[in-house]
């Protein structure tokens, strides 16, 4: 209860949810003694795959006995997920104490919710100067609160595609503008670029970072992976080849994220052994990213059928998610809820051979599109239904033996699923 009261106060500090500027975060961090300048950081920017790449990196680093602090967003179930120090999430009382300390120093000055959370992370991270910090950028990057570091160990560019277009001027809602916002202000250190969904996107990234003095490493040029037989895949870079076991997370695209994580850790020469990589990629904790639900109240409704949740919410996420679905030989049923500011028609257009689609509300989010309105957007697709709740939607699916139920469209929806389950 105490933690929630503090978070409610944080939300009232600024009239806008997002206000792209670095002035407020810099001012607060200066009062905190500029903690962001006292930590060792790997920064992750991009549209898709940031969290997955971080979680793969984190899992490998833990196997190597390296202490980490991890800052990600959004959280799925609890705000504590965003605040990992010494390889442990902060407990409620620890987090409340941290928030109160920074809140007092901020002295009720205007600052956005994400900005003050970021300041809290930097403030706590500075207490562990030897730890490695894995930091996920928020919206875009150029004016993101995480972009106040003076130096870092590396910048990782994950897959970039169109998303959050409503925060850009109407005449600038292009992939070129998004690439510029995410990559034009990277620090001079090391830049590792993950696989992109088009050759054009990769070339545009190269052009934007062309004058950056960093050492640059690109997927397919400096590191790559390929499929093997018998549940193995192969990773390759200048340090040598690795035959790796199948990771514990689903989806071919996750091999791209895992390969990027391996590249980063080997490039930085962190004394990561092959065994650390092999063991680490089988222990990745990646909530709501093509997560298999094994038990629980909602799982009981699905019975013996495969039950997955995936918080993908933009076109590139839909594309790679459908690639995974097409690898499965079964009937697929999608339950979907989305935020208002997404390209709903574009998202659903990627899914092929779907037995049924059911739209639902995201009850916890006032900025979500209603399930009724979402159904109307999908009116040209056959077998689209609407139900008031996730439970009703699952119960209404005409499940056959071996079918799949997938809940997707928003991380917020996945959060509700996990809470209900």
Q: In this structure, are 147 and 23 located in the same domain?
A: yes
* Number of domains composing the chain: 2
pLDDT above 90 covers a percentage of the chain that reads 89
The predicted model gives 88-102 an average pLDDT of 98
Domain of 141, CATH number, reads: 3.40.1190.10
Q: In this structure, are 269 and 328 located in the same domain?
A: no
Mean pLDDT, the chain, whole residue set? 95
Q: In this structure, are 328 and 413 located in the same domain?
A: yes
Q: In this structure, are 274 and 343 located in the same domain?
A: no
The predicted model gives 182-187 an average pLDDT of 96
> For the chain, what is the radius of gyration of the CA atoms?
21
pLDDT above 70 covers a percentage of the chain that reads 99
Q: In this structure, are 156 and 210 located in the same domain?
A: yes
Q: In this structure, are 50 and 147 located in the same domain?
A: yes
Q: In this structure, are 151 and 94 located in the same domain?
A: yes
Task: Count other Cβ atoms within 10 Å, centred on residue 292.
Answer: 12
Q: In this structure, are 264 and 236 located in the same domain?
A: yes
Identify the domain containing residue 348 by its residue range: 291-420
- Give me the pLDDT at residue 164, please: 67
pLDDT in tens, 343-394: 999 999 999 999 999 999 999 999 999 999 999 999 999 899 999 999 999 9
Burial of 264 from C-beta contacts in 10 A (0-12 / 13-18 / 19+): buried
Domain of 382, CATH number, reads: 3.90.190.20
Q: In this structure, are 274 and 297 located in the same domain?
A: no
The predicted model gives 179-199 an average pLDDT of 96
Q: Is the pLDDT of residue 295 over 80?
A: yes
Dihedral pair phi/psi, residue 147, rounded to 5°: -95, 50
Predicted TM-score (pTM) of this structure: 0.95
Task: Count other Cβ atoms within 10 Å, centred on residue 193.
Answer: 28
User: Encoding tokens for residue 283?
Assistant: 């222990």
Q: Final residue of a domain: which of 280, 311, 331?
A: 280
Q: Is the pLDDT of residue 237 over 80?
A: yes
Q: In this structure, are 344 and 245 located in the same domain?
A: no
Q: Is the pLDDT of residue 172 over 90?
A: no
pLDDT in tens, 7-23: 999 999 998 887 888 99
380-419 burial by CB neighbour count: b if 16+ within 10 A, else e?
Answer: eeeebbbbeebeebbeebebeeebbbbbbbbbbbbbbbbe
- Give me the pLDDT at residue 227, please: 86
* Structural domain includes residue 286: no
Separation CA 80–CA 1 (nearest Å): 14
In 3D space, the residue among 177, 47, 36, 3 whose CA is nearest the CA of residue 118 turns out to be 36
Q: Final residue of a domain: which of 280, 315, 331?
A: 280
Q: In this structure, are 108 and 225 located in the same domain?
A: yes
* Structural domain includes residue 160: yes
Distance of CA 220 to the CA centre of its chain: 23
Q: In this structure, are 302 and 398 located in the same domain?
A: yes
- Give me the pLDDT at residue 171, please: 80
User: Encoding tokens for residue 26?
Assistant: 């810099």
Strand partners, 240: 237
- Give me the pLDDT at residue 17, please: 80
């Amino acid at each position: 209860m105490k933690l929630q009261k503090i978070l409610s106060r944080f939300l009232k500090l600024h009239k806008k949810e997002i206000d792209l500027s670095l002035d407020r975060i810099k001012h607060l961090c200066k009062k905190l003694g500029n903690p962001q300048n006292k930590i060792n950081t790997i920064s992750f920017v991009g549209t898709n795959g940031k969290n997955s790449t971080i979680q793969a990196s984190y899992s490998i680093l833990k196997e190597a006995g390296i202490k980490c602090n991890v800052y990600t967003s959004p959280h799925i179930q609890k705000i504590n997920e965003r605040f990992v120090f010494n390889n442990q999430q902060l407990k409620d009382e620890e987090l409340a104490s941290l928030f109160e300390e920074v809140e007092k120093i901020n002295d009720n000055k205007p600052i956005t919710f994400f900005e003050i959370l970021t300041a809290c992370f930097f403030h706590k991270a500075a207490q562990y100067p030897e730890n490695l910090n894995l930091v996920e950028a928020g919206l875009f990057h150029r004016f993101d609160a995480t972009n106040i570091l003076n130096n870092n160990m590396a910048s990782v560019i994950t897959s970039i595609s169109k998303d959050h277009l409503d925060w850009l001027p109407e005449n600038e809602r292009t992939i070129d503008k998004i690439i510029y916002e995410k990559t034009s202000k990277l620090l001079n250190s090391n830049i590792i670029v993950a696989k992109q969904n088009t050759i054009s996107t990769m070339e545009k990234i190269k052009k934007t970072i062309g004058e950056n003095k960093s050492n640059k490493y690109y997927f397919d040029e400096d590191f790559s992976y390929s499929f093997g037989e018998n549940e193995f895949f192969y990773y390759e870079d200048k340090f040598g080849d690795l035959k790796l076991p199948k990771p514990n997370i689903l989806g071919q695209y996750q091999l791209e994220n895992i390969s990027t994580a391996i590249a980063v850790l080997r490039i930085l020469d962190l004394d990561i052994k092959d065994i650390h990589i092999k063991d680490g990629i089988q222990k990745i904790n990646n909530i709501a990213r093509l997560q298999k639900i094994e038990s629980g109240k909602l799982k009981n409704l699905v019975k013996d059928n495969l039950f997955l949740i995936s918080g993908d919410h933009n076109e590139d996420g839909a594309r790679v998610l459908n690639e995974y679905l097409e690898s499965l030989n079964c009937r697929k049923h999608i339950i979907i809820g989305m935020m208002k500011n997404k390209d709903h028609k574009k998202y659903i257009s990627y899914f092929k051979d779907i037995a049924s689609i059911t739209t639902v509300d995201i009850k916890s989010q006032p900025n979500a599109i209603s399930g009724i309105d979402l159904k109307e957007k999908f009116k040209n697709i056959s077998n689209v239904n609407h139900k008031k709740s996730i439970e009703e939607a699952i119960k209404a699916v005409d499940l056959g033996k071996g079918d799949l139920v997938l809940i997707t469209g928003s991380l917020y929806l996945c959060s509700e699923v996990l809470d209900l389950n």
